[in-house]
Chain A
Amino acid sequence: MSKHTEQTPDRRQLLKAALRYGTLGLLGATGGATLFPKQKSAAQNTVWQIDPEICVACGNCATYCVLEESAVKCVHAYAMCGYCRICFGFFGPEPLDINEGAENQLCPTGAIKRTFVENPYYEYTIDESLCMGCGKCVKGCNTFGNGSLYLQVRHDRCLNCNECSIAAACPSGAYKRVPADKPYLLKKVDSAE
Chain B
Amino acid sequence: MIRHNYTIISIAVLLLSSGIASGFERFPPPDFESGYVHPSPTTPNPRQDIYEYIDTAVLFAALGLSSYLVLKTRRRRFIFVLSLLSLFYFGFWRRGCVCPIGAIQNVALSIFDKDYAVPVAVMLFFLLPLVFTLFFGRTFCAAVCPLGAIQDVVHLRHTPVPEWLENGLRLFAYVYLAAAILFAATGSAFIICRYDPFVSFFRMSGNLNMLILGGCFLFVGLFIGRPYCRFVCPYGVILRQLSRISKWRVTITPDDCIKCRLCEDSCPFGAIREPTAEAPTHDYIKSRKLLAFLILLLPPLVLSLGWVGYTLRPVTSRMHATVRLADRIYLEETGQVEDTTDASTAFRATGREIKDLYAEALDIQAGFGLGGWLFGGFVGLVIALKLIGLSLRRQRTDYEAERAGCLACGRCFEYCPKEHVKRKLAKETIVKADENSD
Chain A contacts for B44, CB-based, 8 A: 154-156
Given known A118-B36, A183-B46, contact A79–B98 (CB-CB < 8 A): no
Interchain CB contact under 8 A, A81 and B29: yes
Stretch at the interface among B111-119, B269-277, B302-310, B417-425: B111-119
Inter-chain contact B345/A95, CB cutoff 8 Å:
no
Q: Is A7 an interface residue (CB 8 A)?
A: no
A35 to chain B, nearest CB (A): 5
Cβ B120 vs Cβ A143 within 8 A: no
A68-B205, A117-B36, A172-B346 given; A161·B193 CB < 8 A: yes
Chain B residue contacts of A31, Cβ below 8 A? 123, 127
B21 and A117 contacting across the interface, CB-CB below 8 Å:
no
Q: Which of B1-55 contact A (CB under 8 A)?
A: 2-3, 5-6, 9-10, 13, 17, 19-30, 32-34, 36, 38-41, 43-47, 49, 52
Query: From residue B310, how far is it (CB to closest CB) to chain A in Å?
Result: 26
Chain A residues within 8 Å of B214, by CB: none
**B427 touches A (CB below 8 Å):** no
A34-51, CB < 8 A from B: 34-35, 37, 39-47
Q: By the criterion CB–CB under 8 Å, are A78 and B39 in contact?
A: yes
Q: Give every chain A residue within 8 A of B345 (Cβ-Cβ).
A: 56, 171
User: Using Cβ atoms and an 8 Å threshold, which residues of chain A touch B87?
Assistant: none
Residues of B in contact with A, size category:
35 or more
Cβ-defined contact, A35 with B118, below 8 A: yes
Is the beta-carbon distance between B13 and A144 smaller than 8 angstroms?
yes
CA distance A192 to B200 in the complex (A): 40
Q: Which residues of B contact A20 (CB under 8 A)?
A: 134-135, 245-247
Say yes or no for B341: interface residue by CB 8 A criterion: yes
CB pair B117 A56 closer than 8 Å: no
CA distance A68 to B119 in the complex (A): 27
- SS of B interface (majority): loop
Q: Which interface residue of B29, B121, B247, B251 has the most chain A CB atoms within 10 A?
A: B29
Which 8 interchain pairs have the tightest Cβ spacing? A147-B23, A82-B27, A163-B190, A78-B38, A172-B346, A156-B44, A171-B342, A171-B343
| A128 smallest CB distance to B (angstroms) | 9
Q: Is the Cβ of B38 less than 8 Å from the Cβ of A27?
A: no
- Asked whether B194 lies within 8 Å of A165 as measured between CB atoms, the reply is yes
Report, as a range, how many residues of chain A touch the other chain. Answer: 35 or more
Q: Select from chain A the residue with minimum beta-carbon distance to B5.
A: A86
23 contacts between A and B (CB under 8 A): A27-B130, A34-B117, A42-B117, A45-B52, A53-B22, A80-B29, A82-B28, A83-B30, A86-B5, A97-B2, A118-B33, A145-B23, A146-B23, A146-B24, A146-B25, A147-B23, A162-B102, A165-B207, A168-B189, A171-B341, A171-B345, A183-B46, A186-B41
Which chain A positions have C-beta within 8 A of B135?
20
Check A183 against B114 for contact (C-beta < 8 Å).
no
Residues of A near B95 (CB, < 8 A) are 159
A57 to B19, CA, bound (A): 11
Within A4-44, the residues touching B (CB, 8 Å) are: 16-17, 19-20, 23-24, 27, 30-31, 34-35, 37, 39-44
Interface residues of B (CB under 8 A from A): 2-3, 5-6, 9-10, 13, 17, 19-30, 32-34, 36, 38-41, 43-47, 49, 52, 95, 97-98, 102, 105-107, 110-111, 114-121, 123, 127, 130-131, 134-135, 189-190, 193-194, 200, 203, 205-207, 242, 244-248, 251, 321-322, 341-343, 345-347, 349-350
A interface residue numbers (CB < 8 A to B): 1-2, 16-17, 19-20, 23-24, 27, 30-31, 34-35, 37, 39-47, 53-58, 60, 66-68, 75-84, 86, 93-95, 97-98, 117-118, 121, 123, 125, 139, 141-148, 154-156, 158-163, 165, 168, 171-173, 177, 180, 183-184, 186, 189, 192-193
Q: Given the complex, which residues of A lie within 8 Å of B27, measured CB to CB? A: 82, 84, 145-146
**Do A44 and B194 form a contact, CB below 8 Å, given A27-B127, A171-B343?**
no
**Which residue of chain A has its CB nearest to the CB of B44?**
A156
Instruction: Known pairs A43-B118, A54-B350, A121-B30; list 15 more (Cβ under 8 Å).
Output: A16-B244, A30-B107, A43-B110, A45-B52, A54-B346, A66-B207, A78-B39, A80-B23, A82-B27, A118-B32, A142-B22, A143-B13, A163-B193, A173-B321, A177-B116
